[in-house]
Amino acid sequence: MGVKKVLILNGSPRAPRSNSRRYAALFTQFCGLETESMDLLRADPKAVAERLEAVSDVLLIFPLYADAIPVPVLRAFKALEEAPPQNRPTLSVLVNCGFLEPEQSDVAVAMVELFCKRMGWPVGSVLEIGSGEAILDQPFRVFARWKIRTLARAVTAGRHRRLKVTMPISKKFFLKASTKYWTDYGARNGITAEQMATMEIEGSLPDDR
Amino acid sequence: MKIILSDRPLSLDLGNRTDVVCFDLSHMKITPCVGCFGCWTKTPGKCVIRDDAVRVYPRLAESDTALYVSRVRYGGYDVVMKTMLERAIPVQQAFIRLLDGETHHVQRAVVPKKATIVAYGARDREEEELFRRLVARNAKNMSFQSYEIRFTDEEQVEAAVRQEVETWA
């Protein structure tokens, strides 16, 4: 491997219009190495493996899903383990979690580390972002940008770090802010907060079934 | 109501039991979540993808006892079970609450449940330990009142499931 290069893998289930893509763009802006991006969602596993042959580093970006890595990442890991590339890039990871506490992503990061161990890939830097659904659209985006810049510099220099960032607010305030965020989200679809707060699942309550 | 979610076919004789429902997820059409937030902000409580998953999550929500049968991959559930768990988010609201000092989604009408996970195929202790950590996290988001994990070999899955179901009153 001559020139250092980073392959950014977007593991979001809504890759084309995901926050993960926005995080990838920020990383690219701050990274001192050549970067290229790929969405795992519909990627051919062979094409992913081929791209991995030509890079020194990988940045895997994904949202926390059911406390763990999302299905597109899981599928990619399985395919790569089945037909591994010869090259063993250093894998860094950026996880965005909608909850305030970035450490809710610790298990997902450990899953990535286990994958790396099995593949014989070095683990690079880790950035866990809390309140990741909304942070880029709030004044607090400056904190996320700052940490992504730190991450990009760590990957560029090969001096890896473990980083966390979230909105610097109390949990009580986060509850209020997130309620407003989601209420506004529903309103854009013509749905009220009361409708969003229905206890019904598939239109009924357990006693009705 | 008691529910069995399995990522593989089970030869299980439930006799005349009407309080148990069993889903073999491996033979159902369940496509991955697309992260559209429709079940929170467009059709609250209903997934916009109208495949077999919409038959599963309401039954899961109303069950007080749940048995999950899944292969373990990288310390988590393998694709079949994980796909279903991701599609079960209509049982939660978008809104956030505090639970044990952490932020989590508000649950809709989800019955607190006793969960058992028959987890097979873990390659070593490290993977089992990671799976334990995952299930401890799931307990908060999947309304587990209590849970037990039974690690087993692939060959022993049927026996472990039968053993568990026999304990159900």
Q: Residue A114: list chain B partners with CB under 8 A.
A: 74-75, 126-127, 130
Exposure string for B138-166, b = 16+ CB within 10 A, e = fewer:
bbebbbbeebebbbbeeeebbebbeebbe
Of B45, B78, B104, the CB nearest to A200: B45
A123 and A91, same domain (yes or no):
yes
Q: What pLDDT score was predicted for residue A133?
A: 78
Of B36, B83, B134, the CB nearest to A71: B83
A149 and A179, same domain (yes or no):
no
A156 and A177, same domain (yes or no):
no
Amino acid at B142: M
Of B58, B61, B82, the CB nearest to A74: B82
> How far off is chain B from A154, nearest CA to CA, in Å?
26
Q: Could you tell me which residues come within 8 angstroms of residue A96 by beta carbon, excluding any fewer than 6 positions away?
A: A19, A20, A23, A61, A62, A63, A64, A129, A132, A133
Q: Residue A123: list chain B partners with CB under 8 A.
A: none
> What does the alpha-carbon distance between residue A150 and residue A128 come to, in Å, rounded to a whole number?
12
Domain that holds residue A185: 172-209
Q: Residue A63: list chain B partners with CB under 8 A.
A: 35
Q: Residue A110: list chain B partners with CB under 8 A.
A: 75, 130, 133
Number of domains in chain A: 2
Q: What pLDDT score was predicted for residue A208?
A: 62
Amino acid at B157: V
Amino acid at A168: P
Looking at domain B2-166, which of 1.10.645.10, 3.30.1330.10, 3.40.50.300, 3.40.50.360 is its CATH number? 3.40.50.360
A202 and A131, same domain (yes or no):
no
> How far off is chain A from B143, nearest CA to CA, in Å?
13
A23 and A43, same domain (yes or no):
yes
Q: What pLDDT score was predicted for residue B126?
A: 98
Q: What is the mean pLDDT of residues B37-52?
A: 97
Q: Is A57 helix (H, G, I), strand (E, B) or coil?
A: strand
A205 and A136, same domain (yes or no):
no
The residue to which tokens 């030509």 are assigned: A54
| ipTM of this complex | 0.96
Q: What is the mean pLDDT of residues B104-123?
A: 97
Q: What pLDDT score was predicted for residue B169?
A: 74
Q: What is the mean pLDDT of residues B16-35?
A: 95
* Residue A23, H or E segment: helix A19-30
HSE on the CB side for B135, CA within 13 Å?
Answer: 27
Six-digit token string for B74: 């990288």
Q: Which residues of chain A have pLDDT under 70?
A: 1-2, 207-209
Q: What is the pLDDT of residues B49-76, one digit of tens each?
A: 999 999 999 999 999 999 999 999 999 9
Q: Tell me the domain boundaries of chain B.
A: 2-166
User: Is residue B72 within 8 Å of B108, Cβ to Cβ?
Assistant: no
CATH number (domain holding residue A32): 3.40.50.360
A113 and A205, same domain (yes or no):
no
Q: What pLDDT score was predicted for residue A15?
A: 72
Q: What pLDDT score was predicted for residue B162?
A: 95
A68 and A99, same domain (yes or no):
yes
Which phi and psi (to 5°) does residue A64 adopt?
-70, 130
> What does the alpha-carbon distance between residue B119 and residue B154 come to, in Å, rounded to a whole number?
9
pTM comes to 0.96
Q: What pLDDT score was predicted for residue A2?
A: 61
> What does the alpha-carbon distance between residue A208 and residue A28 come to, in Å, rounded to a whole number?
52
Q: What is the pLDDT of residues B119-156, one digit of tens each?
A: 999 999 999 999 999 999 999 999 999 999 999 999 99
Chain B interface includes A194 (CB < 8 A): no
Q: Do the chains contact at A209 and B62, CB–CB below 8 Å?
A: yes
A161 and A199, same domain (yes or no):
no
> What does the alpha-carbon distance between residue B11 and residue A78 come to, in Å, rounded to a whole number?
28
Q: Per-residue pLDDT for B157 more than 70?
A: yes
Pick from A62, A65, A204: nearest CA to B88: A65
A162 and A208, same domain (yes or no):
no
Q: Could you tell me which residues come within 8 angstroms of residue B155 by beta carbon, excluding any fewer than 6 positions away?
A: none
Q: Do the chains contact at A71 and B102, CB–CB below 8 Å?
A: no
Chain B interface includes A113 (CB < 8 A): no
Q: What pLDDT score was predicted for residue B13?
A: 85
> How far off is chain A from B34, nearest CA to CA, in Å?
5
Residues above pLDDT 90, as percent of chain B: 95
Exposure string for A72-93, b = 16+ CB within 10 A, e = fewer:
bbbbbbebbeeeebeeebbbbb
> What does the alpha-carbon distance between residue A200 and residue A74 come to, in Å, rounded to a whole number?
31
A187 and A100, same domain (yes or no):
no
Of A77, A182, A206, the CB nearest to B61: A206
A145 and A197, same domain (yes or no):
no
